[in-house]
Amino acid sequence: MTTEHSPAHSQGLIICEHCDSLYEAVPLKPGESAHCLRCHALLGRGHRLSIEQLLALTVAAALLFLFANLFPVISINMKGLTNEVTLWQSVEALAQGRITLIALVAGLSIIFAPLLQIALLFWVLLHAQQGVVAPGFKTCMRALEHLRPWSMLEVCMLGILVAIIKLSGMLDVHPGVGLWAMAMLMVLILLIANRDIRRLWDELGVRPS
């Protein structure tokens, strides 16, 4: 059994990954954690969010994603002229130069990866909320694992903030609605698409094979 994708749970028993002690699994409340009596290793943690809450946050993330992409992330005022740039426009601008590869990576990490994450999470959570295993569950869960390192909204945020600070010396630069939406989206994605989502394997009783 691989411990990377599934904790050592089976038939209501928990095996300590460090010293192989066997315990009976007890449902944990939010904020609670279970530790091994012999070696004090962490056995499990109570989840802070229910499936319903995760689903609601995923819907919120989808809306924020729309806002982040439809509204400008930066607006620049120069001699009375206002220029507003959306995320997509900035990726497009990169694609016109010789640095198409960077545009590709940027597009992937700030638009496509978060979009896919939100779509996959919505799919598996919507079914999980009804106690059903979503069609293609295993593929979706694996894709979510692979997407995590590609979703780099925080890096993008940092880049935009640095750009705003640097440009503000020369131009009249303002963060747009899209940037605020992106900041909130970043927090939501970190909250819902983290490793904790692996619990769905256990809760739905699907064995990663």
In the complex, the residues that contact Zn ion under the rule CB under 5 A are 16, 18-19, 21, 36, 38-39, 41
Of the pair 37, 167, the CB lying nearest Zn ion is at 37
Of the pair 38, 207, the CB lying nearest Zn ion is at 38
Smallest gap from residue 36 Cβ to Zn ion (A): 3
Of the pair 39, 66, the CB lying nearest Zn ion is at 39
Of the pair 19, 70, the CB lying nearest Zn ion is at 19
Residues 125, 137: Cα–Cα separation, whole Å: 10
Q: How many CB atoms lie within 10 A of CB 54?
A: 24
Question: Three-state DSSP class for 24?
Answer: strand
Smallest gap from residue 139 Cβ to Zn ion (A): 34
Q: Which two tokens stand for residue 114?
A: 């978060």
Smallest gap from residue 41 Cβ to Zn ion (A): 5
Smallest gap from residue 49 Cβ to Zn ion (A): 27
Phi and psi torsions of 38, nearest 5°: -85, -45
* Residue 75, beta-bridge partner list: 84, 174
Of the pair 35, 207, the CB lying nearest Zn ion is at 35
**Nearest CA among 191, 107, 192, 198 for reference residue 145:** 198
Smallest gap from residue 28 Cβ to Zn ion (A): 17
> What strands, in cross-sheet order, belong to the sheet with 9-10?
9-10, 13-15, 22-24
Of the pair 18, 207, the CB lying nearest Zn ion is at 18
Smallest gap from residue 145 Cβ to Zn ion (A): 26
Residues 163, 76: Cα–Cα separation, whole Å: 11
By CB neighbour count within 10 A (0-12 exposed, 13-18 middle, 19+ buried), where does 148 fall? middle
Residues 141, 117: Cα–Cα separation, whole Å: 10
